Structure 1
Amino acid sequence: MNRPVVAGVDGSPSSLAAADQAAATAVARSRPLLLVHGYLHPLGYGVPLNPYDLGVPAPTEEAEKMLERVAGNLAGRHPGLRVAVRQVAGGPGATLVAESRRAELVVVGSRGGGGFAGLLLGSVGGQLAQHGHCPVLVVRPAEQPIPVAGPVLVGVDGSEAAAYAVELAADEAARRDAELVLVHVHAPPAAAAPEVAAEAGTAERAEAGTAERAEAAELLGAAAERVRAAQPGLRVTQRPVVAASPEAALREASGEASLVVVGSRGRGGFAGLLLGSVSQALVQHAHCPVLIAHRPEPADD
């Protein structure tokens, strides 16, 4: 199945930046691009102007013109692009989640307006992060230059979801001819209990630190070995990071990257990823685009 790259478009600068990134990605992957606008009825979803008219709200001419204009501009800037547009009578979150069942990738801006207002700052972002059926790329606002030649950064924690994230990150790094940086974040050893003598506390902390370093080296080494077997020519760097806050550590590391890839679930240093504070910190505050590695599911026929 020739799954398209899908971009949510509402005319906002953020969504236009996402659409441009989606177009470049579609051409690079030889995939069609589908621009989608989810619209709400003026009085609320599913509420007709006439209480006796229970039909589905019709697409708006204004939005159709916006989509056609964006599609034409993208086709002019990306030779070889195959692009189609679609309006959907539904909320933006549900619309994009539904489209993700048939997509190669869904690309969204980190902020939106109109049909995608509050995207990735509230419930819409939560729906995509939790329920996307394919990888989701969040394009950051153009508030600062992104190091285009920077490495692709990916979190490693030994989970199945992280393994798929590493696979996606390696593919992206190969396409970009970029370095792949494997990162494992673990907390510093906890302090010994107050009643334990100072000497014993120091020994326990040292032992715990040694165990953490050994686990990090094992996880990173295994991930690097798999990547090199699949992508022999790829530049791979292993980076263990000791930090009390995985959110802060990954956010800081993203400042040097062209892309950061995270799994849809996690454990250890990435516990609760996309279910709690780590995901929210990266999606909202990373310094580069964020790729959420949802494994594609079989498309609905």
Structure 2
Amino acid sequence: MLRSILVALDDTPGARSARDFAVTMARQTKASLTAAVILDLPHTAEDEATPIGGYAYKERRDAARIAQAEKEAEDIIAACTAAAEDVPFDVLHLIDAPEPALRAASARVDMLVIGRDSTLGQEQAEDGLAPTIEGLLRHGARPLLVVPPGMPLRTAGPVLIGYDGSLPCMRAVQLYAQLRPLGNAPVKVVSVGATAKAAQELADVACAYLIGQGLTAEAHGSQGDHPADVLLSEASALHARMLVIGAFETSSLRQLLRGSATRKLLTQAPCPIFVAH
């Protein structure tokens, strides 16, 4: 059961969608919610040279930057308060670089929710995908829920699981079944393989596990060489509420962030992606 959620906030559209999705999950599951805001404060190395007469200017400049960062954080938290309505949440101000700060903070919760384009005040999101996400997936302690910008909050539709039999996929399926971020929403497991029969056998394994955990699940095997395209098509056709995948291997669905197929999933999926490694 999902008991604690950390959501990373900034002023990007994806972060606002992530915030709203996290609030909805917290309301439905009664999980505790923590909103993390990165304070982009000025830092100076101890041995950094400062010109004569430059200290006063630097102090004024840094003070202005700090005031601006704090004001931006206040605005983001105020917007979260308005969006949360009856859902209580804690506020966490982080002053480290986004990836290590969120990695450390997420070790205390069940799941980290982040907007697909969330720059967290420091990075450009190439192709609409924040670089912080890759680091969090490689080194983070918890599953990540990546939410696309402008995504409507769906109350119907299945959860779609992409399954290839790899250890990361097995862990993703297990974590999803344990946490149930969308409660007992029905699940469809999709596997893609060299033959439809082989793919169906793979999907049946994951489906049997999910049914054993008390979830309603069906399995579908598809022949093909482009699993990302199959999953994107299924997610759109089914109006999927969430896509579940594993990460960090080297073939098929295992190419996450190491190949065009899985980057395509992260940048084009029409629903949040629950990722474990």
Could you tell me the TM-score, scaled by structure 2's length?
A: 0.79
Counterpart check, 1:181 vs 2:188: yes
Q: Secondary structure at the match of 2:129?
A: coil
Aligned residues: 261
- Which residues in structure 2 correspond to 1:20-169 (within 5 Å)? 20-42=20-42, 46-47=44-45, 51=49, 60-78=66-84, 80-113=86-119, 115-119=121-125, 121-142=129-150, 145=152, 147-169=154-176
Within 2, Cα distance between the matches of 1:229 and 1:261?
Answer: 18
Counterpart check, 1:219 vs 2:202: yes
Within 1, Cα distance between the matches of 2:262 and 2:11?
Answer: 26
Kindly provide the CA deviation profile for residues 247-284 of structure 1, in whole angstroms up to 9, marking residues without a partner as x: 22222222131110111235663233343333311111
Within 1, Cα distance between the matches of 2:111 and 2:224?
Answer: 32
Contact 1:265 1:274 (C-alpha < 8 Å) held by counterparts:
yes
- Code of the residue aligned with 2:252 in structure 1: it is G
C-alpha RMSD over aligned residues = 3.2
* Alignment partner of 2:240 out of 257, 268, 282: 257
What runs of 5+ residues in structure 2 fail to find an aligned partner? 56-61
**How far apart are residue 290 of structure 1 and its match?**
0.8
Calculate percent identity across the aligned residue pairs: 27
Q: Counterpart in 1 of 2:58?
A: none
Q: More displaced, 144-153 or 99-108? A: 144-153
Contact 1:152 1:258 (C-alpha < 8 Å) held by counterparts:
yes
**How far apart are residue 72 of structure 1 and its match?**
4.4
**How far apart are residue 170 of structure 1 and its match?**
4.0
Contact 1:261 1:290 (C-alpha < 8 Å) held by counterparts:
yes
Contact 1:4 1:31 (C-alpha < 8 Å) held by counterparts:
yes
Kindly provide the CA deviation profile for residues 143-181 of structure 1, in whole angstroms up to 9, marking residues without a partner as x: x65654121011111122212222344457684443201
Give the 3 Å change call, closer, same or farther, for CA 28–129 of structure 1 in structure 2.
same
Kindly provide the CA deviation profile for residues 39-97 of structure 1, in whole angstroms up to 9, marking residues without a partner as x: 4445xx555897479xxx89934444444444444445445533222322222222222
Contact 1:6 1:36 (C-alpha < 8 Å) held by counterparts:
yes
Q: Secondary structure at the match of 1:185?
A: strand
Q: More displaced, 148-157 or 249-258? A: 249-258
Contact 2:200 2:222 (C-alpha < 8 Å) held by counterparts:
no
**How far apart are residue 183 of structure 1 and its match?**
0.7
Within 2, Cα distance between the matches of 1:13 and 1:40?
Answer: 19
Give the 3 Å change call, closer, same or farther, for CA 175–258 of structure 1 in structure 2.
closer
**How far apart are residue 106 of structure 1 and its match?**
0.8
Within 2, Cα distance between the matches of 1:78 and 1:140?
Answer: 19
* Alignment partner of 2:268 out of 274, 285, 288: 285
Contact 1:151 1:173 (C-alpha < 8 Å) held by counterparts:
no
**How far apart are residue 34 of structure 1 and its match?**
2.0
What runs of 5+ residues in structure 1 fail to find an aligned partner? 188-211, 295-301
**How far apart are residue 225 of structure 1 and its match?**
1.4
Give the 3 Å change call, closer, same or farther, for CA 3–257 of structure 1 in structure 2.
closer
**How far apart are residue 110 of structure 1 and its match?**
1.1
Give the 3 Å change call, closer, same or farther, for CA 102–116 of structure 1 in structure 2.
farther
Give the 3 Å change call, closer, same or farther, for CA 116–185 of structure 1 in structure 2.
farther
Give the 3 Å change call, closer, same or farther, for CA 276–267 of structure 1 in structure 2.
closer
- Code of the residue aligned with 1:126 in structure 2: it is E
- Code of the residue aligned with 1:5 in structure 2: it is I
Superposed structure 1 runs of 4+ greater than 6 Å apart? none
Contact 1:247 1:281 (C-alpha < 8 Å) held by counterparts:
yes
Within 1, Cα distance between the matches of 2:276 and 2:79?
Answer: 29
Structure ID, larger Rg: 1
Q: Secondary structure at the match of 1:271?
A: helix
